[in-house]
Structure 1
Amino acid sequence: MLNDKFVTFFTELERNNNRDWFNQNRKVYEKECLIPFKELVSELISRISLFDKTVSGQDVNSAIFRINRDIRFSKDKTPYNTELKAAIVKGGRKSLYPGYYLAIGAEKSYIGGGLYNLSSEMLEKIRDYIAEHPEKFKAITTDTTFVECHKMILGDKSKRLPVKYKELANSIPEIALKQFYYMSEVKTSQLINNKNIAETILSRYLAGYKLNYFLQKALSQSV
């Protein structure tokens, strides 16, 4: 279970985001943050596998992102992420497959899923599948539980939408999206010291599962 020491570590990391401080506190990070986070993600993998077999057997290490930031092309040169992140997805965190996302920081956490990185071929397959099953897609986007948890499907919009989708975009504007994901922001205080943390997170994954399944079906011939 994540506790107050997790929050304390990341609060201090936000103030001292440098290698010297981190190296001095590495043992605290590993014991109070990384180990319990791994245990949580491992439990989530097992629990998600009960309703989404695509993540069954995923190695927990393939799900968790490194705390070190990739600063090669960033103006922000602070070396560490100020949250722990995981992608529970077939093929691991770098996979191009619909999955489930978790990020826990000192004050805010994010629970979501769907599909963020798509090739042009994948995007066309998803759009074609939406065009073939518009009512099924509408039912997902208007589902009460989905809307209560995640509000809407997120993603950047194409500046130019292929002609074959333009008419459908009047009734299903999401077809213009280049990503198809959902995300809930929650206060970390809702997760810390919570014996039912897995259930709290899983309820939001379950709310988004119908979209994940729709995307899986759309990509079944290419992924």
Structure 2
Amino acid sequence: MTTPKFSQELLDFFRKLEKNNNRDWFAENKNQFKLNETKAKAVFKTVFEELNKHDIVDSFKVFRIYRDVRFSKNKLPYKTHFGASFHRKKPELRGGYYLHIQPNDQSFIATGFWEPSKDDLLRVRREFEQDDTEIRAIIHAKPLKSVWGEFQGDELKTSPRNFDKDHSAIDLIRKKQFLFTKTYTDKEVISDMFIDDVNTSFRAIRPFFDYMSDVLNTNLNGESII
């Protein structure tokens, strides 16, 4: 059985949509969209199955093409990409995966913690404050860094309340997100090796997820809270 893959036709459809992002054009081409959507969902399902060979991912979500324009200055009705998120089994396993397919070499994968809760964010910051040696060893280890590069995420311009601005780990403590991303060209996205590369890349993040899951499921004394 042939493994599903993303196609040139999918990328071409989104290029056309970028130039014709209106309801009339979309209605005229909806059959083509539905065909591409069905094929894309099969690829996302394959990624889900591959992830479950080395992790416990209990669900995945393919985001709808329709944009929510109610509170946005951008009133274009349609997204010009497909995105899917993959959810690890909570509460034991923390973190998540995201796959984004967009033409013109704008595809990427991302992993980590997009919107940690207030309590989770404080717990992680306190862990970094107490001891940042383990997290630094993990994010700078060659198997992870060679795939994902630098630690990313939005951060405060100064220290959070009740944290010392001169603390040696303030570069980590300031972060509001804990993310890694990896970009892909269009040629890479439609290649036969794309799904393998995505899965291998996601596998490489496991030491970070194991560390963060341990932190978020214990208190500062290392006692379980679940």
Q: In the alignment, is the contact (CA less than 8 A) between 1:165 and 1:175 conserved in 2?
A: no
Task: Give 1:153's match in structure 2, choosing from 141, 148, 151.
Answer: 151
- Check 1:85–1:128 CA distance in 2 against 1; reply closer, same or farther (3 A cut): same
Deviation at 1:172, TM superposition (A): 5.9
- Check 1:72–1:98 CA distance in 2 against 1; reply closer, same or farther (3 A cut): same
Deviation at 1:15, TM superposition (A): 0.4
Q: Give, in whole Å, the separation in 1 of the partners of 2:89 and 2:186.
A: 28
Q: In the alignment, is the contact (CA less than 8 A) between 1:2 and 1:37 conserved in 2?
A: yes
Deviation at 1:116, TM superposition (A): 0.7
Letter in 2 for 1:104: I
Q: TM-score, normalised by structure 2?
A: 0.84
- Check 1:102–1:20 CA distance in 2 against 1; reply closer, same or farther (3 A cut): same
Q: Which runs of 5+ in 2 are unaligned?
A: 219-224
Q: In the alignment, is the contact (CA less than 8 A) between 1:69 and 1:80 conserved in 2?
A: yes
Task: Give 1:136's match in structure 2, choosing from 134, 137, 141.
Answer: 134
Larger radius of gyration: 2
Task: Give 1:13's match in structure 2, choosing from 5, 9, 17.
Answer: 17
In the TM superposition, 1:70-219 aligns within 5 A as 70-90=68-88, 97-107=94-104, 108-158=106-156, 159-164=158-163, 166-168=165-167, 170-171=168-169, 173-192=171-190, 194-219=191-216
Task: Give 1:25's match in structure 2, choosing from 29, 34, 39.
Answer: 29
- Check 1:188–1:133 CA distance in 2 against 1; reply closer, same or farther (3 A cut): farther
Task: Give 2:55's match in structure 1, choosing from 27, 52, 55.
Answer: 52
Number of residues of Structure 1 aligned to a counterpart in Structure 2: 211
Q: In the alignment, is the contact (CA less than 8 A) between 2:159 and 2:165 conserved in 1?
A: no
Task: Give 2:46's match in structure 1, choosing from 40, 43, 46.
Answer: 43
CA shift digits 1:137-162 (9 cap, x unpaired): 01122122322222212112123324
- Check 1:128–1:186 CA distance in 2 against 1; reply closer, same or farther (3 A cut): same
Q: Give, in whole Å, the separation in 2 of the partners of 1:208 and 1:106.
A: 25
Q: In the alignment, is the contact (CA less than 8 A) between 2:112 and 2:179 conserved in 1?
A: yes
Q: In the alignment, is the contact (CA less than 8 A) between 1:112 and 1:208 conserved in 2?
A: no
Deviation at 1:2, TM superposition (A): 1.5
Give the secondary-structure state (helix, strand or coil) at the position aligned to 2:44: helix
CA shift digits 1:56-110 (9 cap, x unpaired): x42x4xx111111111121111111111001101379xxxx51001100112201
Of residues 156-165 and 72-81 in structure 1, the stretch that sits farther from structure 2 once superposed is 156-165
Task: Give 2:62's match in structure 1, choosing from 55, 64, 84.
Answer: 64
Deviation at 1:164, TM superposition (A): 4.0
Deviation at 1:3, TM superposition (A): 1.4
Q: Give, in whole Å, the separation in 1 of the partners of 2:53 and 2:129.
A: 30
Deviation at 1:217, TM superposition (A): 2.1
Give the secondary-structure state (helix, strand or coil) at the position aligned to 1:155: coil
Deviation at 1:127, TM superposition (A): 1.6
**Greater share of helix residues, 1 or 2?**
1
Q: Which runs of 5+ in 1 are unaligned?
A: none
